[in-house]
Amino acid sequence: MTTLPELFPGFAIRRFEVNGASIHARVGGSGPPLLLLHGYPQTHACWHRVAPELARRFTLVMPDLRGYGDSTGPVPDAEHKAYAKRTMAADFVAVMQALGHERFGVVAHDRGGRVGYRLALDHPARVERLVTLDIVTTLDAWEDLATENAVGRFHWMFLARPAPFPETMIGRDPQYFLDYLLSQWTGTKDLTAFDPGALEHYRAAFAKPSVIHASCEDYRAGATIDPAIDRADREARRQIACPMLALWGATRKHGFVNKPLDTWRRWAPHVVGEPIECGHFLPEEAPQKTLAAMMPFLAQTTLGA
């Protein structure tokens, strides 16, 4: 079975103590800086199929979000601020700053996607361009929870219930729950899309009680403070100023995303995008199509190495 270093040949491991969190990241490549942010219930390993090609053109920084993988965050607070996307976005401003990157591109999937658009809204001077994978904003997603979406996105409500209820229900057999979600959200409804080594890594990470608890906190923030911050931005008409590309999975029956471009246009009038023929896990299910859709957009970077 392939180990993680084998999935990322030539990449280095770095750790950053920033913003009250300890962030683990894999870095490598050469060219303008590009921050890649993973989603739930995964880690930075989700980028392994696209990282080699991206690394030829860009300096990649692939962290684990606080609380996920090998990154850790602080003890949760009652307002879930510690796992708010605003807080996570600040983590990566600090990480990129520590690496000397004042301005950078962002490619972001799922929960990481929420951190990515929050970064673009909160720190417009930092984000040169933004690619989101298979999301709309947290606020828009809450506003679009009709029956089919409410069943398809049951975990938004389940994981956001007060601790320790979801933690307990998941924690008796974390691998079972992880495998279920990974299967359910692919286009093929099974685990065939995932590299066995990456899958083992996701399972090992999700077996940690601290990861289960922190990821539930991520969703508790997603049910409270995150949409409240989105709403404040919407009311203030704050928008995403940088170039933005939205990609989404075409084959999910109960998608995360309805009419994603129309929805994103309210936040980023100049957004472009398209569906990719796969489920939720674009970089693993359809790495070549995802690269083909991203590369022309990323190549327009105005940043130097």
Partner 1 sequence: MSATDDLFAGFASRRFVTEDAEIFARIGGTGPPLLLLHGYPQNHVMWHRVAPRLARDFTVIAADLRGYGQSSCPPTDLEHRTYSKRAMAGDMIAVMAALGHRRFAVMGQDRGARVAYRMALEHPAAVDRLVILDIVSTLDQWQAESKEAKLRMFHWGFLAQPAPMPESLIRRAPRDWVEGPFKRGTKTRSISTIDPRALAAYQAVFTDPDHIHATCEDYRAGASCDLADDEADRAVGRQIGCPMLFLWGTHGTPSDIDDPLGLWRRWCPHVLGGTIDSGHFIAEENPDALVARALPFLLGE
Q: Which residues contact partner 1 by CB under 8 A?
A: 142-143, 145-147, 150-154, 157-158, 160-162, 165, 168-170, 172-173, 176-177, 180, 184, 223, 227
CB of 226 to partner 1, least distance (A): 11
Q: What is the DSSP letter of 72?
A: B
Give me the catalytic one of 24, 38, 44, 280: 280
CB of 141 to partner 1, least distance (A): 11
Measured from the CB atom, the residue of 102 and 173 that comes closer to partner 1 is 173
Find all residues with CB under 8 Å of 168, minimum gap 6, and list them.
none
CB of 82 to partner 1, least distance (A): 20
Dmax over CA atoms of the chain, in Å, equals 51
Q: Is 67 left (phi over 0), alpha (psi -120 to 50) or beta?
A: left
Measured from the CB atom, the residue of 77 and 173 that comes closer to partner 1 is 173
Residue-level length of the chain: 305
Measured from the CB atom, the residue of 145 and 272 that comes closer to partner 1 is 145
Measured from the CB atom, the residue of 66 and 155 that comes closer to partner 1 is 155
Give the closest residue to 66 by CA, choosing from 76, 53, 56. Answer: 76
Give me the catalytic one of 70, 110, 134, 226: 110
Residue 173 appears among annotated catalytic residues: no
Residue 109 appears among annotated catalytic residues: no
CB of 220 to partner 1, least distance (A): 10
Residue 104, strand partner residues: 127
**Mapping DSSP to helix (H, G, I), strand (E, B) and coil, where does residue 131 land?**
strand
How many Å apart are CA 69 and CA 195, to the nearest integer? 17
Residues involved in catalysis: 110, 280
